[in-house]
Amino acid sequence: MIRLFNWLRRGSLERGLDRELQYHYDRRVVDLTSAGIPEPEARRRVAVELGLAQVREEVRDVWFTRWLRDFLYDLRFSLRSLLRTPGFTAATLLSLALGIGATTAIYSLVDQVILHALPVRDPGRLVLIDWRGDHVVGGFGSFNLMPYPLCRDLQQQTRVFVGVLCRSDEVPVNLSAGGDPKPVAAELVSGSYFSVLGVGPALGRVIQAEDDTAPGASPIVVLSYDFWQAQFGAAPDIVGRKVLINQHPMTVIGVAAREFHGVDVAIVPALWLPASMYAQAIPGIYDERLLQSPTRWMQILGSLRPDVTLAQAQAGLQPWFKGWLEENTRRPGFPVITADRRRRYFGSALQLMPAPQGYSPLRRSLSEPLWLLFAATAVLLGLACLNVASLFLARGSARDREIGTRLALGASRSRIGRQLLADSVLLALTGGAFGIVLAPPVVRALIAFLPGNYADAHALHSAISLQLLAFTFLASVAAGLLSGIAPALHSGRDSLISSLRERAGTAFGGVRLRKCIVTLQVAFSLILVTGAALFVRTLADLLAKGPGFDTTRLVSFSLAPLKNGYSRADSARLIRRIDGEVRALPITRSSAVVRFPLLTGGSWSNPFIIQASRRIVTDRDVHENAVSPGFFATLGVRVISGRNFDGGDVRPAGETGRRRSAIVNQAFVRRYLPGVDPLGILIGEGSGPDVKPETVIVGVVADFSYRNLREDSEQIFFPIFEGDDFGGTFYVKVRGTSEQAFQSIRQIVGNTDPQLPIVSFRPLDEQVNRSLNTERMLAALSAGFGALALLLSLIGLYGVMSFVVTRRTREIGIRVALGATAGSAIRLILSDALAMIAAGVAIALPCVAALGRLVQSQLFGITATDPATVAGAALILAAGTLAAAFIPAWRASKVSPTDALRLE
Amino acid sequence: MPSPRFPIPQGTLDMLILQILSLEPAHGYGIAQRLEQISRSVVQVNQGSLYPALHRLEQKGWLRAEWKQSETGRDARFYSLTAAGRKQLAIEKDSWARLSGAVNLIFEEGSR
C-alpha cells in the first residue's frame, strides 16, 4: 500500500534523492580536493565510489519494490503499444467488456437475491425455524408457515435464543390517509420483531412487545422509510397522524430505519402492524382466534445465542417441542385425526436453517435460474478470455521480431512474459470498467424480466455497490490472467535466431496452442448453444401448450370489499350485484367470478376424502376453487361429462350451508377414480376420520392450469354463490379492447362504491406472459449467450484457419504445382478445421450430460439430454464453424503455385 | 592503496547505521564519515550502498528524516532514530551478542 503511495509521489521522492546525493557528492569532492587531489580527479573518484546510477536504482527498488516498478513500467509500455493497434484493442476490449459486464450484471442479482445479508444486528445468527413432519393443521400464506403460539412460546427458550420473531407474508390492505383507499403491502409482525432484528426507528418508535398482546388492542402503524418518503413526502409530523387501514382508524407511531426493507428481499412492505391486529388487517379471516389457534400463517425467525451452535440449538429444542406438540392438540381448532396421523404428527421436529439473508420465496424460486445464468455467464467470460488469448497469440506472432530483439538485448523470458501479462491485465481492467458501465442497464432489464412486480416494489436495485465493484475487479484480473497466461508462457519459446531471421508475420506463432484454444471454444459454445436450445424449446412448448383455456379478449380484475369496511353479507351482496351488472354490459360476451385467481403461482388447496367403493384419502393436496356458473364457458373450458353449475347452485347472499355439488377435472378422475364413473360420488374436504363426504360430484371438466402453466394437477370446483363468498376475481370475455372494458367496469364499480379499489386489472394474455417470465428470461438470455458464444468461436476458428493458410501457402503452392486440385486444397484445410470441431464436440458432450441434471427442473416437456436438441445444437455449431473455416480454405484453393513459390 | 579490508558482512550495515544514529542525528555523508572512522582498515563499506539502506530503514519506520541546515550551511537530509528504531537496535545488538558468543563457544570447543 505504502509502495503505491510512494509511486504516486515519486516525483518529489526523486527530487529529494537527487538533492541528498548531490550533497554527498559535493562534500566528498570538497574533502578530497582539500586533501590535495586535483578537482577533475576528485570528481571522477567520487563518481566511481558512489555509483550514482546504481544507487538511484537501488533506492527506487526500496521505494516501490522491484515487481511493482516493473509492473507499472509494463503497464505504461502496454498502454502505448495497445494504443498503436486500435483495431486489436477494440476487438479484445469488446469481448472482455461483454463478458465481464454480463457476469457482473448476473452477479448483482445473485448477490441481492441470494447472498446479501440483511441490514440488521448479527444477521449471521438469524435462523429460520421450520416444522419438519406432519403439521395436521392447515394455514394460509406461502412457505414455512407456523402457528403464532409457537412463536410466542419459543421466545421463552432463552437458553437457545436471544430472541424470536414471527411475521406474516405480505398482506394487502387498503390504506387511506385523507384520500381514496389505496391497496398497499403490510406485514403483520410479533412485538419482538424490531427488537430481535435490532432495527430502530428513523422517526418516532417501532412496534414493541406491549403492542402485541390482546387482539385489536393496538391500532398502531410503523411506516417503512421509502413509503414515508414516497407517499407522505417525508412529512416530519407523521408521528401521531391518524390513517385508515381497511377503514379501521390507526395511529402512525413511527418510521423504520432507512436501510431496513423487511426480511424478505422480494417484498418491501409499506407498513408494519402488530400481529394482534390480524382481524383488522385480514378481514373475513375464517379463524377468529389467530393468537391462540394452531392455524399456520407466519414464518418464525430466531436469533441464536452467541454461545449456542445451530446443531446444539436444534437438538436442545426437540424435548421441549415434544411437550409443545402435546399442548398444541388441545388448542381450539385442532382437528380430530386418526391414530396413524397422530403418530406422524408426534414424529414432527423443529428444523433450524441459517437465514442471514432473511426469508424469501423469491430466493426459493429464482436461486436456481440465477445460478444457472451465472454459470452461463462465467462460461461466456471464459470464452471471451480464450478469444482474447488467441488474439494475443496472433499478435504475439506478429511481434516475434520485437520480442526476439528484446531477448537478444538481454531481457529474460519471464520478464517478457510478464510484459504480455501486463497487456492482458490492462485490457481486462479496462474491459471491466466498461463492464461496470454496462451492468446497471442490464440489471434493470433483467429485473423487468423477473416474475411478479419486483421492479415496481423497488425490492431490487441496479446500483453498483462496493462489493460489486470488488467482484468486477476480481473477475477482470482473473480474466486478464486467464487470457494472458497462455501467450505469456508461449512467448519467446521459439528459437531466438530464427525469429530474428524471419520476416515478421511468417513465424510459426503457436499454431498448436491456438488450435487447442479454438477446440475449447467450440466445446464451450456447444454447451451454451445446447442450453439455449433447451430453454428456448421449453418456452416454446409452454407457449404452445398455453394455460388450457382461451385467453383472447379475456380480462380479469379483483375486488376485496371486506377491506373497505363491508360485512361478509354486504360484501357477498356487492359481489353478486357487480357480477350481474358486468354480465349485462354490452361489451361483455360472458363473465364469471372465482374465489382464487389463476396463474399467480399460488393456489387454495386441501386434502380430500373420496367415498368411492371404499373411503380414499387423497395422497396429496387437491387444488380447489369456488366459481360462478358461467366460469367454464367464459374460459372456454369443455365440460366433459355431467352438468355445469347453474342457478340451482346459488343461495341468497348471507345464507350458508353445506356444499352440495362439486365439479372435478380429468386429472382428478385419472388419479383417484380410474375406470369409475365419477358422477354421483361423494367427497369431503379434509383428511380426518371426522370428515363426512357429503358433496356430490356433478360434472367433469377438461384440465387447465391453475398455479402456473407447467402443471395441470387435480382440481375440484365448488359453486361460489352457494356460500358466503365475500370477494373475488372476475373473469370477463369482452367484445372490444381491454381498455374499453376497463372504462365500463370502472364505471360500474364506481357507481356502486366510489371508494372501492379495483385490484390488478389485466388482460389474461399479459398474465400468461407474466407467469412465464422466468422461462422467458432463461430462454432470452441463454439464446443471447449462445449466439455470442457461437460468434466468438466462429471468429476464433476463422482467425486460426486464416493463419494456417498463410503459413502453409508455400506447401499448398507446391502441392498444386505437383498436380493437386483446388478441391483437394480445400479438403486439406477443412479436414484440419473438422478435427478441431470434432474434438470440441467430443469434449462438450459429456459436459452437457453432466450439466443436464442441474437444468432439468427448469425444463418443460424435454429432458436435458434430449438427443434431437443436443444433435441440433451440435449441427448448428458444426455448420457455422465449418462455414467460417471455408473462407480461408477457399483462399487456399486459389493459391497460384508461381506466386506461392516466388514468395520465398 | 588501502590495506586488505574484508567487505562488511551481509545485514550488519543496518545495525551499524542504527548504532551511529543512536548517538546523534546525522546526514548521509556524516554517517559515511563515521563508518569510515570506526571501521578504518577493518571493514569496507561501499559509500553507494549506504543510501538504499537508509531509505529501507526509513520505510520500515526505524528512521525519521528531515531537511536541516548542516555544518556547512547547506540543507542536508538528517536522519534520526525513532522509538521503533531504538527497539530494533536493542534487538539486533542482543542477537549479535548471542550469535558471536555462540560462534566463540564453537571455536573454543574445537580448539580444545
- Domains in chain B with CATH codes: 6-111 (1.10.10.10)
CB atoms within 10 A of CB B111: 6
Closest CA to A404 of A509, A514, A483: A509
Contact B52 A24 (CB under 8 A): no
Mean model confidence pLDDT for chain A: 85
- Looking at residue A311, its pLDDT comes to 92
The set of residues, in sequence order, having a beta carbon less than 8 Å from that of A43 and lying 6+ positions away, is: A29
Q: Quick check: A131 and A146 in contact, CB under 8 A?
A: yes
For residue B48, the distance in angstroms to the closest alpha carbon of chain A comes to 4
Cα radius of gyration (chain B): 16
Q: Quick check: A666 and A603 in contact, CB under 8 A?
A: no
Enumerate the residues of chain B whose CB falls inside 8 A of the CB of residue A52.
48
Contact A2 B59 (CB under 8 A): yes
Asked if the model's pLDDT at residue A539 lies above 80, the reply is yes
> Are residues A513 and A558 located together in one domain of the fold?
no
> Are residues A683 and A779 located together in one domain of the fold?
no
Enumerate the residues of chain B whose CB falls inside 8 A of the CB of residue A59.
51-52, 55
Which positions 8-47 of A are in contact with B (Cβ < 8 Å)?
16-17, 19-21, 23-24, 26-28
Average pLDDT over residues A165-172: 89
CA A688 to chain CA centroid, nearest Å: 40
The span from the first CA to the last CA of chain B, in angstroms, equals 39
Enumerate the residues of chain A whose CB falls inside 8 A of the CB of residue B59.
2, 62-63
- Inter-chain CB pairs, A–B, below 8 Å: 56
> Are residues A266 and A191 located together in one domain of the fold?
yes
CA angle A187, A189, A194 (to 5 degrees): 110
Considering only residues A523 and A804, tell me which one the structure prediction assigns the higher pLDDT.
Answer: A523
Task: State the pLDDT confidence band at B10, using cuts at 50, 70 and 90.
Answer: low
Q: Is B75 on the interface with A (CB under 8 A)?
A: yes
Q: Provide the domain count of chain A.
A: 4
For residue A46, the distance in angstroms to the closest alpha carbon of chain B comes to 9
- Looking at residue A659, its pLDDT comes to 85
- Looking at residue A308, its pLDDT comes to 92
Asked if the model's pLDDT at residue A317 lies above 90, the reply is yes
pLDDT tens column, A261-312: 888 776 778 999 999 999 899 887 767 788 888 988 999 999 999 999 999 9
Report the residue of B31, B37, B55, B71 to disrupt the A interface, i.e. the one with the largest count of A CBs within 10 Å: B55
Contact A23 B76 (CB under 8 A): yes
Which helix (H) or strand (E) is A255 found in, with range?
Answer: strand A248-256
Enumerate the residues of chain B whose CB falls inside 8 A of the CB of residue A24.
28-29, 32, 47
Asked if the model's pLDDT at residue B2 lies above 70, the reply is no
AA letter at B28: G
> Are residues A262 and A395 located together in one domain of the fold?
no
CA distance A43 to B28: 18
Contact A16 B77 (CB under 8 A): yes
Of B29, B52, B75, the CB nearest to A55: B52
> Are residues A479 and A404 located together in one domain of the fold?
yes
Enumerate the residues of chain B whose CB falls inside 8 A of the CB of residue A49.
46-48
- Looking at residue A715, its pLDDT comes to 93
Q: What is the residue range of A50's domain?
A: 2-64
Cell of A653: 347472499
Average pLDDT over residues A441-459: 69
Q: Is A814 on the interface with B (CB under 8 A)?
A: no
Contact B48 A51 (CB under 8 A): yes
> Are residues A290 and A376 located together in one domain of the fold?
no
Of B29, B51, B75, the CB nearest to A28: B29
For residue A78, the distance in angstroms to the closest alpha carbon of chain B comes to 29
- Looking at residue A506, its pLDDT comes to 42
> Has residue A832 been placed in a domain?
yes
Closest CA to A328 of A299, A295, A286: A295
Question: Which among A735, A758, A789 is the end of a domain?
Answer: A735
> Has residue A260 been placed in a domain?
yes
pLDDT tens column, A719-778: 988 876 777 899 999 998 888 888 889 889 888 888 888 887 889 988 888 788 888 888
> Are residues A19 and A130 located together in one domain of the fold?
no
Q: Is A730 on the interface with B (CB under 8 A)?
A: no
Contact B32 A24 (CB under 8 A): yes
- Looking at residue B1, its pLDDT comes to 40
pLDDT tens column, B11-39: 788 888 888 898 889 988 888 888 877 76
Report the residue of B35, B47, B63, B79 to disrupt the A interface, i.e. the one with the largest count of A CBs within 10 Å: B47
> Are residues A531 and A567 located together in one domain of the fold?
no
The set of residues, in sequence order, having a beta carbon less than 8 Å from that of A290 and lying 6+ positions away, is: A148, A215, A275, A278, A279, A297
Task: State the pLDDT confidence band at A191, using cuts at 50, 70 and 90.
Answer: very high
> Has residue A100 been placed in a domain?
no
For residue A310, the distance in angstroms to the closest alpha carbon of chain B comes to 46
Enumerate the residues of chain B whose CB falls inside 8 A of the CB of residue A2.
59
CA distance A169 to B77: 71
> Are residues A499 and A616 located together in one domain of the fold?
no
For residue B75, the distance in angstroms to the closest alpha carbon of chain A comes to 8
pLDDT tens column, A658-696: 888 999 999 999 999 998 899 999 999 888 788 889 999
Report the residue of A55, A56, A69 to disrupt the B interface, i.e. the one with the largest count of B CBs within 10 Å: A55
For residue A47, the distance in angstroms to the closest alpha carbon of chain B comes to 10
Q: What is the DSSP string of B24-93?
A: S-EEHHHHHHHHHHHTTTTEE--GGGHHHHHHHHHHTTSEEEEEEE-TTSSEEEEEEE-HHHHHHHHHHH
CA distance A459 to A447: 10
Contact A23 B77 (CB under 8 A): yes
Enumerate the residues of chain B whose CB falls inside 8 A of the CB of residue A19.
75, 77
Contact A49 B48 (CB under 8 A): yes
> Has residue A549 been placed in a domain?
no
> What pTM was estimated for this model as a whole?
0.70
- Looking at residue A496, its pLDDT comes to 52
> Has residue A107 been placed in a domain?
no
> Has residue A445 been placed in a domain?
yes
The span from the first CA to the last CA of chain A, in angstroms, equals 54
> Are residues A525 and A607 located together in one domain of the fold?
no
Q: For A188, how many CA atoms within 13 A lie in the half-sphere containing its CB? A: 26
Considering only residues B54 and A67, tell me which one the structure prediction assigns the higher pLDDT.
Answer: B54
For residue B71, the distance in angstroms to the closest alpha carbon of chain A comes to 11
For residue A474, the distance in angstroms to the closest alpha carbon of chain B comes to 29
> Has residue A92 been placed in a domain?
no
> Are residues A56 and A14 located together in one domain of the fold?
yes
Asked if the model's pLDDT at residue B7 lies above 70, the reply is no
Please give the C-alpha separations between residue B62 and each of A804, B21, B29, in angstroms, as whole numbers.
61, 11, 19
Task: State the pLDDT confidence band at A224, using cuts at 50, 70 and 90.
Answer: very high
Contact B29 A23 (CB under 8 A): yes
At A242 the three-state DSSP class reads strand
Contact A23 B56 (CB under 8 A): no
Enumerate the residues of chain B whose CB falls inside 8 A of the CB of residue A51.
46, 48
Closest CA to B20 of B1, B36, B42: B36
Contact A63 B76 (CB under 8 A): no
Average pLDDT over residues A577-593: 92
CA distance A160 to A305: 6
Q: What is the DSSP string of A650-688?
A: ---TT------EEEEEHHHHHHHSTTS--TT-EEEES-S
Question: Which among A64, A82, A114 is the end of a domain?
Answer: A64
Q: Which residue in B has a C-alpha nearest to residue A27's C-alpha?
A: B29
Contact A62 B52 (CB under 8 A): yes
Q: Is B63 on the interface with A (CB under 8 A)?
A: no
- Looking at residue A361, its pLDDT comes to 67
CA angle A57, A58, A63 (to 5 degrees): 95
- Looking at residue A501, its pLDDT comes to 52
Q: Is A50 on the interface with B (CB under 8 A)?
A: yes
The set of residues, in sequence order, having a beta carbon less than 8 Å from that of A542 and lying 6+ positions away, is: A709, A710, A772, A775, A860, A861
Which helix (H) or strand (E) is A345 found in, with range?
Answer: helix A339-346
pLDDT tens column, A597-645: 888 877 788 889 999 888 888 888 899 999 999 899 999 999 999 999 9
Q: Quick check: A884 and A798 in contact, CB under 8 A?
A: yes
Contact B77 A62 (CB under 8 A): no
- Looking at residue A382, its pLDDT comes to 86
Please give the C-alpha separations between residue A699 and each of A115, A658, B30, in angstroms, as whole numbers.
49, 18, 110
> Has residue A665 been placed in a domain?
yes
pLDDT tens column, B55-79: 888 888 899 988 988 888 888 899 9
CA distance A834 to A79: 38
Enumerate the residues of chain A whose CB falls inside 8 A of the CB of residue B32.
24
Question: Which among A322, A356, A390 is the end of a domain?
Answer: A356
Q: Is B29 on the interface with A (CB under 8 A)?
A: yes
- Looking at residue A494, its pLDDT comes to 55
> Are residues A204 and A301 located together in one domain of the fold?
yes
Contact B76 A17 (CB under 8 A): no
For residue A417, the distance in angstroms to the closest alpha carbon of chain B comes to 29
Alpha helices in A111-224 (DSSP H): 148-154, 193-197
Contact B59 A21 (CB under 8 A): no
